[in-house]
Amino acid sequence: MAARDREFSLGTSIVLTIGSAVLWGVAHLATGRRRTGLALMTVYAVLLASVLTMVTVLGSHLLSLAVQPGWLTALTVTLIAIAVAWSTVILWSYALVRPAVGRRATTILAVVLCAAVVAPTAYAARLAYVSRDVVTSLFTANTAPIVTQDPWNGADRFTILLVGADSAPNRPGVRTDSMTVATVDIATGATTLLGLPRNLQNVPMPSGPARERFPYGFTGEPPYTPGLLNEVFQYGEDYPEVVPGARRATHGSTLLKQTVSGILGIPVTYYAMVDMHGFAQIIDAMGGVKVTIKEPIVYGKYREGLLAAGTRKLTGEQALWYGRSRTDSDDYVRMGRQKCLLNAVAKQADPMTVLNSFESLATATKRAISTDVPQNLLPALVDLAQKVKDTRIRSLSFVPPLISTVYPDWSLIRRKVAQAIADRPANKTATAPGERPEATLTPSADRPITLDESCG
């Protein structure tokens, strides 16, 4: 009797069905369909080799591909196609070798094998789809050509303004109460955070209509009381004519970037704004964030809460108060805590944490963050982030006694920024015997310190 006409026992049918799920074509060879079986095995080998090649050869670039919408779309389609093809092979193999008795058991087995194939591929396809949605929703479409060989277009630093924004029902508009400029050396990943207090007064405005309107520095609405830095963003939103050439819905961010760039004396190319309440949702999606609290922090409108000193994991709401509370402290202490919080979130957002709560994180991120970083810069940013992880992030805040917020010395600020960027950055590698690692610098108001020091 020909193999294709054989009746298989229950045990043989189970073995061949499982074998075909592991290596396509096994059941076909067992039933005499040699040409089809070899073809399926060849396709399977090619797919497996392609996956292994991508993991081994492109392993270091997979994260870069994961932020490119085109690749994410292709991955989604490919995963769906593989799931359909694999399930088809399993069912086809089962149909060829199903036994005369015990068919219910083998049918259940075939369905389970299909589910085992479809479930992970469907999940991976879902992650790819959600990732593409985040990238296209959060990051702007490509606004300027980027040379493939040099995505930075000749720049030696990447500089971005990180803004924590807050609003309240009893207060119109948005106040940017947390403003930090991150400037990163593209070659080494050395990063310095430059903190600006929200209450800097009479800040110099960028040349053009804004400076013509405020030739002696920014002031508030009539009767022209001293204006604070945290009001500049909303002013640009309310009066777009002072930011000619800015794209729609970017007047506030453009004016704030230009203003901060003038204060620090360095070009600020991009911004990322985080809504503080949305930031709490991101932390909850991560499962909380662990920080070291140096002194007890009272929080709540009526002082109903207390964050005790020590290292502990905070919920989103607690982390929000950790970063916002000024009770028994001041703006400058709060600025330090905000940097520590950002540092903790960045360190603890490891791949497993992100994967385990990917969809909730994606949803919270879309709600909480706005930015003008273009999509075509994301692959280079992913590579740069790997360099940043190998260095110690340093921080310099322009707060009293270094800087008076009422009468700031703008020239001194620019000199200190130039010094901070020029200083040799600390890194995580061991120093030579007798060499004093810069990471052990005594914290002071006018020297960059590492976040590891300032955050306990």
Does residue 115 lie in a domain region? yes
Quote the number of domains for the chain. 2
Instruction: Find residue 371's DSSP bridge partners.
Output: 272
Q: Is the pTM of this model over 0.85?
A: no
Which position has the token pair 């479809």?
A: 118
Which position has the token pair 């520590």?
A: 340
Q: Alpha-carbon torsion 192, 341, 195, 385, what sign?
A: positive
Beta strand extents in 153-300 (DSSP E only): 157-168, 171-185, 191-196, 270-275, 289-293, 297-299
d(CA 359, CA 86): 26
Please say which residue of 79, 109, 138 terminates a domain. Answer: 138
**Is 184 in the same domain as 309?**
yes
Q: Range of 130's domain? A: 3-138
**Is 18 in the same domain as 54?**
yes
Does residue 218 lie in a domain region? yes
Of the candidates 216, 221, 190, the one whose C-alpha atom is nearest the C-alpha of residue 204 is 216
pLDDT at position 232 is: 93
**Is 290 in the same domain as 212?**
yes
Burial class (CB in 10 A: 0-12, 13-18, 19+), 10: middle
**Is 109 in the same domain as 172?**
no
Please say which residue of 138, 173, 192 terminates a domain. Answer: 138
Does residue 434 lie in a domain region? no
pLDDT at position 440 is: 31
Q: What is the CATH number of the domain that holds 406?
A: 3.40.630.190
Does residue 36 lie in a domain region? yes
Of the candidates 217, 232, 220, 219, the one whose C-alpha atom is nearest the C-alpha of residue 268 is 232
**Is 240 in the same domain as 345?**
yes
**Is 187 in the same domain as 335?**
yes
pLDDT at position 309 is: 87
Phi, psi of 297 (to 5 degrees): -115, 120
Beta strand extents in 197-309 (DSSP E only): 270-275, 289-293, 297-299, 305-307
**Is 121 in the same domain as 260?**
no
| C-beta of residue 148 within 8 angstroms of C-beta of residue 135 | no
**Is 84 in the same domain as 206?**
no
Does residue 443 lie in a domain region? no
**Is 128 in the same domain as 188?**
no
**Is 46 in the same domain as 127?**
yes
Cα–Cα separations (whole angstroms), residue 10 to 52, 106, 378: 35, 8, 54
d(CA 269, CA 261): 9
Report DSSP letters for 10-79, one per residue. Answer: HHHHHHHHHHHHHSTTHHHHHTT-HHHHHHHHHHHHHHHHHHHHHHHHSGGGHHHHTT-HHHHHHHHHHH
Instruction: Find residue 310's DSSP bridge partners.
Output: 293
**Is 264 in the same domain as 370?**
yes
**Is 343 in the same domain as 301?**
yes
d(CA 253, CA 398): 21
Burial class (CB in 10 A: 0-12, 13-18, 19+), 422: exposed
Number of H-type helices and E-type strands within the chain = 17, 11
Does residue 454 lie in a domain region? no
> Which residue numbers in the chain have pLDDT < 70?
1-6, 58-62, 142-149, 167-173, 221-225, 300-303, 328, 350-353, 355, 424-447, 449-454, 456
| C-beta of residue 198 within 8 angstroms of C-beta of residue 399 | no
Does residue 209 lie in a domain region? yes
pLDDT digits (tens, 9 = 90+) for 186-226: 999 999 999 999 899 999 999 999 999 999 899 876 656 67
Instruction: Find residue 192's DSSP bridge partners.
Output: 183, 394
Which position has the token pair 């359909």?
A: 84
